[in-house]
């Protein structure tokens, strides 16, 4: 007979991406490589932006924060998955699972907020270029990031506190490769009605307002673009916004895929594949998108590389 309350349960069982023993070494090597690329790529972006004084602008300040969040997001999920694959062990402690849920919500939410703030920065830079440095001053940039941390910290804490009141059987199996809130709500034997209401309301609020902010910013940018007669000016705007548009499309595209896969299909395998895109692939691709499309970042990376090679 299973134990009945959350004070007695000691662990969950994570189903993982595959139970095929022959696939485990391949999965381990693949995700280890992706994790190393994610960490190194985002660290290089942070170092390049920090070492070049010409990149000390609001856009690159937010880009550094986004790179840091992407490292944290990947670090929340991949190391534990690699440990379980290497040890051939599907167990995760109860506290470890709740900790993973908490930080996964924080870093995914911060990605959401930072992309919105970056869109607002693009809007100010393109639509109000003369007042850009006055509006997007260091105090406001820091305040926007701190407010984002504050909001997502308390929202995630609320989810966690409500989650701790749910009851699970001993060694409950989570049909996913990571502990996340929706899948835990599916395997509890308590009434999770209140949890689901809070989840839907807060998710709607934290998704709708950022999306509205991004759409408004780009509507204003497109309006400004249509008024311009200079082809060179239009090209500069496309060049400035291109990287951010790619990252926004990738983030919200995979996020929508996670939502649709969990609501429209009961296939846990498809759900996990889409979640991997959201939590692992997207953080890995972000530094490449920014560095390949941004001449300033490429120049900073070149100087950083030349400095590293010149050191004895």
pLDDT value of position 180? 83
Q: Name 54's Cβ contacts closer than 8 Å, sequence gap at least 6.
A: 296, 300
- Provide the token pair at 105: 């919500």
β-bridge pairing 11-14 and 91-93:
antiparallel
- Provide the token pair at 76: 């929340």
**pLDDT tens per residue, range 113-126:** 999 999 999 899 88
**What's the pTM?**
0.86
List the one residue out of 312, 254, 311, 309 whose CA is nearest residue 283.
254
Confidence of residue 199 (pLDDT cuts 50, 70, 90): confident
Q: Within its chain, how far is the Cα of 211 from the centroid?
A: 15
Instruction: Encode 32-44: b = buried (16+ Cβ within 10 Å), e = exposed.
Output: bebbebbbebbeb
Please tell me the distance from the alpha carbon of residue 271 to that of residue 258, in angstroms, as a whole number: 7
**pLDDT tens per residue, range 147-198:** 999 999 999 999 888 888 888 877 778 877 888 888 788 888 777 788 888 8
**pLDDT tens per residue, range 223-243:** 888 887 777 767 777 777 777
Average pLDDT over residues 42-64: 84
Please tell me the distance from the alpha carbon of residue 112 to that of residue 114, in angstroms, as a whole number: 6
């Amino acid at each position: 007979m299973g134990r009945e309350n959350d004070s007695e349960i000691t662990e969950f069982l994570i189903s993982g991406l595959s139970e095929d023993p022959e696939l485990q070494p391949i999965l381990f090597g693949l995700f280890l490589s992706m994790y190393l690329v994610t960490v190194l790529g985002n660290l290089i972006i942070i170092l390049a932006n920090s070492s070049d004084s010409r990149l000390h602008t609001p856009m690159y300040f937010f880009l550094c924060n986004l790179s840091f969040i992407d490292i944290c997001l990947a670090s929340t999920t991949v190391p534990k998955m690699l440990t379980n694959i290497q040890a051939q062990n599907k167990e995760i402690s109860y506290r470890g699972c709740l900790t993973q849920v908490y930080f996964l919500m924080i870093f995914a939410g911060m990605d959401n907020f930072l992309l919105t703030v970056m869109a607002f920065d693009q809007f100010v830079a393109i639509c109000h270029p003369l007042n850009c440095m006055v509006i997007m001053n260091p105090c406001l940039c820091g305040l926007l990031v701190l407010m984002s941390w504050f909001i997502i910290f308390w929202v995630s804490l609320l989810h966690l506190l409500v989650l701790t009141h749910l009851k699970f059987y001993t060694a409950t199996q989570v049909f996913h490769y990571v502990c996340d809130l929706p899948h835990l709500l599916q395997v509890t034997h308590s009434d999770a009605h209140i949890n689901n209401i809070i989840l839907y309301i807060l998710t709607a609020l934290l998704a709708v307002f950022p999306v509205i902010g991004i759409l408004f910013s780009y509507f204003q940018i497109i309006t400004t673009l249509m008024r311009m007669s200079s082809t060179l000016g239009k090209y500069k705007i496309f060049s400035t916004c291109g990287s951010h548009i790619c990252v926004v499309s990738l983030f919200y595209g995979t996020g929508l895929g996670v939502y649709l896969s969990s609501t429209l299909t009961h296939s846990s395998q498809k759900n996990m594949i889409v979640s991997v895109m959201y939590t692992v692939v997207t953080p890995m691709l972000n530094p490449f998108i920014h560095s390949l499309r941004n001449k300033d970042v490429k120049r900073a990376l070149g100087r950083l590389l030349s400095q590293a090679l010149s050191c004895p």
